[in-house]
Amino acid sequence: MLLNLIIFLSSLLFGSMVFFTAIVMPSIFKSLDKEHAQTLAHHLFPRYYLWCIVLSALTTVAAVTAYHSLALLLMVVLIGFIYSRQRLLGKINQARKKWLDTDSPQDKSRYDSLHRRSVIINGFQMVVLLMIVVANLMFYPR
């Protein structure tokens, strides 16, 4: 029963991440002009990360009592979301503002580097979650 909850929450988190990155963000940038799209994205990302923090925290708590190796993987995912929301997002926003103010290649490079880091973290988290779901569905059939 507990494993089913962990798989469900991991699947919900993975699905939320896919929906946000593959549907929501591209739709925003296709539907709105660049300035409004960036403003909306600026407001959505903290909420996206908060949602992911809550889901990954619930999933980690569910796993910690009986599935220690899963709990460790989920803890890594949770820490990635906390870091991305509490530290990285602010740095990205500052770097973007500075780049827009100066139009400097150096500032653009800084922004691109921070943004790339957030994309890598997000991709890593998605891979971990997908592995958790697929492995548990394959090796622990219902």
For the chain, what is the mean pLDDT?
94
Q: How far apart are the C-alpha atoms of 111 and 25, rounded to whole Å?
A: 18
* Per-residue model confidence (pLDDT) at position 12: 98
* Per-residue model confidence (pLDDT) at position 17: 98
At 73-84, the pLDDT tens digits run 999 999 999 999
Residues 6+ apart with CB under 8 A from 23: none
* Per-residue model confidence (pLDDT) at position 137: 82
142 pLDDT above the threshold of 90: no
Exposed e or buried b for every residue in 74-83, given b needs 16+ CB within 10 A?
Answer: bbebbebbbe
Q: Are 5 and 62 within 8 A, CB to CB?
A: yes
Total domain count, the chain: 1
**Cβ atoms < 10 Å from Cβ of 26:** 10
Q: What is the mean pLDDT of residues 119-139?
A: 93
At 105-126, the pLDDT tens digits run 999 999 999 999 999 999 999 9
How many Cα atoms are found within 13 Å in the side-chain-facing hemisphere of 51? 13
SS3 141: coil
* Per-residue model confidence (pLDDT) at position 141: 62
Share of the chain above pLDDT 90, in %: 87
Domain range enclosing 51: 2-139
